[in-house]
Amino acid sequence: MSTAPPGADELDRRVREFLAGHDPAALEPLEFLRARFDAGLAWVHYPEGLGGLGAPRELQPGVDAAFAAAGAPRNNPERNGIGLGMAAPTILAAGTREQRERFLRPLWTGEEIWCQLFSEPGAGSDLAALGTRAVRDGDAWIVNGQKVWTSMAHEARWALLVTRTDPDVPKHRGMTYFVCDMRAPGVEVRPLRQITGEAEFNEVFLTDVRIPDEHRLGAVGDGWKVSTTTLMNERVAIGGAAAPREGGMIGVVAGLWRDRPELRTPGLHDALLRLWVEAEAARLTGARLRQALAAGDPGPEGSAAKLAFARLNQEISGLELEILGDEGLRYDDWTMRRPNEVDFTRRSPGYRYLRAKGNSIEGGTSEILRNIIAERVLGLPGEIRVDKDVAWKDLPK
């Protein structure tokens, strides 16, 4: 006889009992996080034994709030956003039992950081055009190629890697997905300095990298399908993340407006009100999107959330500089750094303005997201694709 998944009251009881036996002030943070995962209170909607209890997804915020109120250690989602927001749901959806048991626990506790090896110099917006080759060699694959714009590659232990395994079929059908060990021989990470002065991103060169077949996610040739799972979760993670009212960038600028009355003008006031309303509408839409996710996997709606996030972040950061006037033109963050997280709220206005430019590129360009919304949400005719039935090897390079 099956057991019904726990509801809110049952989860409250389990959290209280767990905290009674695991004092956050007395335990090492990693020990506490491992115990929380093993108790099924990490991702409550995941299966038992994999950090969850099979509970409804919408109960997670209440569990997180209870742990936060008790002073429990966090698992640093700012540092491992790719792992938590993209790798974990992909492994859950496409991984074997052994892969789930191996990777999910140290991912959630923050012991192992993840990155994403998708984009290439000649395959960014058109991911299916990628050329990084994986060739079967017994019980392993030999991988050669180059990836670019890889966040956290300099910190990562593991990577989500999509490759070309069959060049003789159309581009979407000849891809295979792997978990790549970033410490394996042949993996080279080089920094890419960006407009902010930092090297947050990287290019990654793969030279005869040997990946065991047991680290393949999904069937051979199913790389596009598995990649779509990753990308849909990425867009929800970027654009639909939970936030309080006046969270994120709009909170920073609203706080500036309240604290610096000498900077106010009627025109800027109107602009701030408009963006505040749009940010609140986006926040509430994100909450509704997360509720819909409780019933299944993310769909194309996440593209709309991510598109709105990028536009708002750029407009709000621009408004902040307008409010500050000459003061906003000062920028003191040029030091070459290798950051291990992206934090808009604790940096300078100049950093926020410059870094926000990347929001319309990362996680899928705004142009591609508009295509997805037009075709998969609005049902408009798709763009003409002359390469749809052409073997990848015959495409212009």
- How would DSSP label each residue in 205-225? EEEEEEEEGGGEESSTTBHHH
The answer to whether residues 68 and 167 belong to one domain is no
- Tell me if the pTM is above 0.75: yes
- Contact 62/325 with Cβ under 8 angstroms? no
The answer to whether residues 364 and 258 belong to one domain is yes
Asked if residue 372 is part of any domain, the answer here is yes
Residues of the chain with pLDDT under 70: 1-3, 235-242, 290-301, 333-336, 340-343
pLDDT, position 235: 63
| Residues noted as catalytic | 234
The answer to whether residues 254 and 294 belong to one domain is yes
pLDDT, position 331: 80
Domain boundary among 221, 255, 273: 221
Asked if residue 95 is part of any domain, the answer here is no
The answer to whether residues 241 and 198 belong to one domain is no
CATH number of the domain residue 151 falls in: 2.40.110.10
The answer to whether residues 232 and 373 belong to one domain is yes
Domain boundary among 221, 239, 264: 221
The answer to whether residues 67 and 124 belong to one domain is no
The answer to whether residues 250 and 364 belong to one domain is yes
Asked if residue 58 is part of any domain, the answer here is yes
Residue 38 parent element (H or E): helix 29-38
pLDDT, position 241: 61
Q: Tell me which residue range forms the domain holding 138.
A: 114-221
pLDDT, position 169: 97
User: How many domains, the chain?
Assistant: 3
Question: Pairing state of beta strands 216-217 and 175-181?
Answer: antiparallel
The answer to whether residues 55 and 130 belong to one domain is no
pLDDT, position 296: 54
Asked if residue 99 is part of any domain, the answer here is no
The answer to whether residues 188 and 213 belong to one domain is yes
Domain boundary among 19, 48, 74: 74
Half-sphere exposure of 394 (CA within 13 A, CB side): 9
The answer to whether residues 243 and 312 belong to one domain is yes
Asked if residue 234 is part of any domain, the answer here is yes
The answer to whether residues 17 and 127 belong to one domain is no
- Contact 38/32 with Cβ under 8 angstroms? no
CATH number of the domain residue 361 falls in: 1.20.140.10
What are the helix (H) ranges across 39-130? Answer: 60-69, 81-82, 88-94, 97-109
The answer to whether residues 66 and 118 belong to one domain is no
Q: Which residues have C-beta within 8 Å of that of residue 296, sequence separation ≥ 6?
A: none
Distance CA(266)–CA(287), nearest Å, equals: 32
Asked if residue 338 is part of any domain, the answer here is yes
- Contact 117/159 with Cβ under 8 angstroms? yes
pLDDT, position 279: 94
Q: Which residues have C-beta within 8 Å of that of residue 313, sequence separation ≥ 6?
A: 248, 249, 344, 356, 359
- Contact 231/276 with Cβ under 8 angstroms? no
| Dihedral (Cα; 138, 132, 310, 291), 10-degree rounding | -20
Asked if residue 384 is part of any domain, the answer here is no
Asked if residue 189 is part of any domain, the answer here is yes
